[in-house]
Amino acid sequence: MLVEIVSDYEAMSERAAEIVTHQIRKKPDSVIGFATGSTPLGLYQRLAQNHQARGLDFSKITTFNLDEYVGLPPSHNQSYHYFMWTNLFDHINVDPSKVHIPQGMADDIDDFCQWYERRIEQAGGLDLQILGIGANGHIAFNEPGSSLGSRTRIKTLTEETTQNNARFFDDPDEVPRYAITMGVGTIMAAKTVLLLSSGESKANAIRATLEGPITAMVPATIVQLHQRAYVIIDEAAASKLEYRHHHGIIEPKQQNP
């Protein structure tokens, strides 16, 4: 596990963009797992810029998103379909037939989850999985207590998560209580994992993830066991690390995956 501490959100986003860009240039048909939320927005803006200004080619990549709310149609402005197309896919030359986002309106959720796992396998597995982290240490929608060997499935969201999400909905009753999510085991099967975190609100989760015991109560701690885990965090997110001096900025050209 390589941890890089950078100055702020912009530096985190820039460093993450270097890693993802390097992956695509190295392997143009990469299979990449994408995340949603505010954390990767800066990364996605830079990837779009790299395509538009520098010719970064996304036409051969295959994408798989981490999760999606159950019960929201793709057109809903809070669905992760909407998020990904609005914030990234509409701005790059991705092949829509190679974009995979969980179907929250699937008639049979269990069957869909099994299909999603098979489709990842058929694509050759994830070359790079981008992750954020929740304040309670969740990754994707694998809430505390999730099995560390879990695969894509439906999950009940915690009250903390639904309360955090309520600000995005006009009516609290509209906030989804369930989501389809890649499992912890699915994420760990990726060849490379890139976990991003910014801000003091994530400092406790980052300390637990990097310095605490591996536990299902903090699902992100599993990245300690990944052979190619890159953790890029800013100073605020790193502010509660006990062994802060062990981590630092590494020269990007020497450490791209």
In a domain, 253, yes or no: no
Confidence at residue 254, expressed as pLDDT on a 0 to 100 scale: 45
Per-residue burial over 57-84, b = 16 or more CB atoms within 10 Å of its CB, e = otherwise: ebeebbbbbbbbbbebeeebeebbbbbb
Confidence at residue 93, expressed as pLDDT on a 0 to 100 scale: 98
Of the CA atoms within 13 Å of residue 166, those in its CB half-sphere come to 10
In a domain, 244, yes or no: no
Tokens standing for 97? 């037939």
In a domain, 182, yes or no: yes
φ, ψ (nearest 5 deg) of residue 8: -160, -175
For the chain (length 257 residues), average pLDDT per consecutive 10? 95 98 98 97 98 98 98 95 98 98 97 98 98 95 96 93 86 91 98 98 97 97 97 97 71 51
Which position among 4, 50, 65, 67 bears the catalytic label?
A: 67
In a domain, 139, yes or no: yes
Confidence at residue 251, expressed as pLDDT on a 0 to 100 scale: 45
Q: Which pTM was predicted? A: 0.94
Among 30, 9, 10, 11, residue whose Cα is nearest residue 20: 30
In a domain, 246, yes or no: no
Which position among 50, 65, 136, 142 bears the catalytic label?
A: 136
Confidence at residue 252, expressed as pLDDT on a 0 to 100 scale: 45
For residue 140, the tally of other CB atoms under 10 A from its CB is 30
In a domain, 247, yes or no: no
The reply to whether 121 belongs to the active site is: no
Which position among 51, 81, 100, 138 bears the catalytic label?
A: 138
In a domain, 42, yes or no: yes
Q: What is the CATH number of the domain that holds 177?
A: 3.40.50.1360
**How many independent structural domains does the chain possess?**
1
The reply to whether 143 belongs to the active site is: yes
Confidence at residue 253, expressed as pLDDT on a 0 to 100 scale: 46
Tokens standing for 51? 């395509």
Which position among 18, 117, 143, 234 bears the catalytic label?
A: 143
Enclosing domain of residue 12: 2-234
- Rounded to an integer, what distance in angstroms lies between the CA atom of residue 149 and that of residue 49? 37
In a domain, 33, yes or no: yes
For residue 111, the tally of other CB atoms under 10 A from its CB is 10
